Amino acid sequence: MAGSSPPWTGSAYLFLQSTCKTIALPSLYESSQKKPCVFKALKLALADSTGSVNGVDMLKVHCSHPHLIVQLRFCRQENCRRFLRSYREGALQKSLQSHLQLSLATTMVPLEVELKAGSEHLDKMLKDEDRCLECIYREKPDRLPDEEITELEECLKSLMLHQSTNNNVAGKDCSSLKSPSQPYPPQGSSLPTELTFIFQGQQFVEKSLADHLIPNSHDIQHQIWISHLQLWTAMPGILGSRTFSLQGIVFYRKSSLIYIFPHSFL
């Protein structure tokens, strides 16, 4: 349409370096076995930073010892702004460390991060958000996603679909095991036939995690939830002991069970 402004696009480079002598990110990424694990951690952490799996694209990952360098592409200014805030506040760094720890099944991976756009070192101007946006906007992406990135994306989707299918089967198995043990209520009784519990003063019907997530198992956004739940269950000290909120959803743990609520219940 005449007079319409061109789409907002920009590019930046994220430099990552492990400060642990026994963990070299470039070496891990060069390993055919560890590469998918590192890529998954990068993908999920970047999704955390913008609130969407499509908020920022990885175009290529460079191994330049001791750095792992990720070329990023932003297609919306608001997504880039969210990313910058997450980076400035340290949330992206913490998310990267947590996802690397979970994906690699290792101890915490301490990281140093640096952000550049062309010749500009954005770490020196993070408080000036508009200036950072201008620097990123000036650096137009010079390539499409690398073929290796595309293959890793497909591999990650297949892996998460496989995991969600297994979770769905496990959820159904648990339901079938519970059903025979539920007593039938007396005729005319008003007692519920389903298991219920009290949260925030209200009564809820107990459902499996699969009941909430698996109907949309092809949506990678739901798989991010599952990854966060795995992290929360394995390392509760990172995301909180009883509840945590993610993209408008509240996750509440009671014993070994996890329940999901709208954010309004907090």
The count of C-alpha atoms lying within 13 angstroms of the C-alpha of 214, restricted to the half-sphere facing its C-beta, is 16
**Which of 22-31, 179-188, 223-232 has the least mean pLDDT?**
179-188
| Average pLDDT score over the chain | 76
> How confident is the model over 71-100, as a mean pLDDT?
97
> How confident is the model over 48-57, as a mean pLDDT?
93
> How confident is the model over 183-198, as a mean pLDDT?
48
Q: Reply yes or no on whether the pLDDT at 184 is more than 60.
A: no
Q: Which of 96, 98, 125, 133 is nearest to 112 (CA)?
A: 96
> How confident is the model over 204-208, as a mean pLDDT?
53
Q: Which of the two residues, 181 and 69, has the higher pLDDT score?
A: 69
Q: Reply yes or no on whether the pLDDT at 262 is more than 70.
A: no
Q: Which of the two residues, 256 and 45, has the higher pLDDT score?
A: 45
Amino acid found at 147: E
First-to-last C-alpha distance (Å) of the chain: 45
Tell me the per-residue pLDDT of 240-258, one tens digit each, with 9 for 90 and over: 445 555 545 555 555 445 5
Confidence band (pLDDT; 50, 70, 90) for 215?
very low
Q: Is the dihedral of CA 109, 52, 248, 206 positive or negative?
A: negative
Which pairs with CB-CB distance under 8 Å and at least 24 residues apart come from 76-83? 76/8, 77/8, 77/133, 77/137, 79/50, 79/52, 79/55, 80/8, 80/10, 80/56, 80/133, 80/136, 81/129, 81/133, 82/49, 82/50, 82/51, 82/55, 83/46, 83/49, 83/50, 83/55, 83/56
The count of C-alpha atoms lying within 13 angstroms of the C-alpha of 219, restricted to the half-sphere facing its C-beta, is 9
Q: Residue for token digits 């592409």?
A: 73
pLDDT confidence of residue 47: 95
> How confident is the model over 151-164, as a mean pLDDT?
72
Domains annotated for the chain, with CATH where assigned, are 10-147 (3.30.70.680), 193-266 (no CATH)
> How confident is the model over 35-52, as a mean pLDDT?
95
pLDDT confidence of residue 23: 93
Beta strands in the chain (DSSP E): 10-18, 57-64, 67-74, 111-117, 120-121, 196-199, 202-205, 243-246, 249-254, 257-262
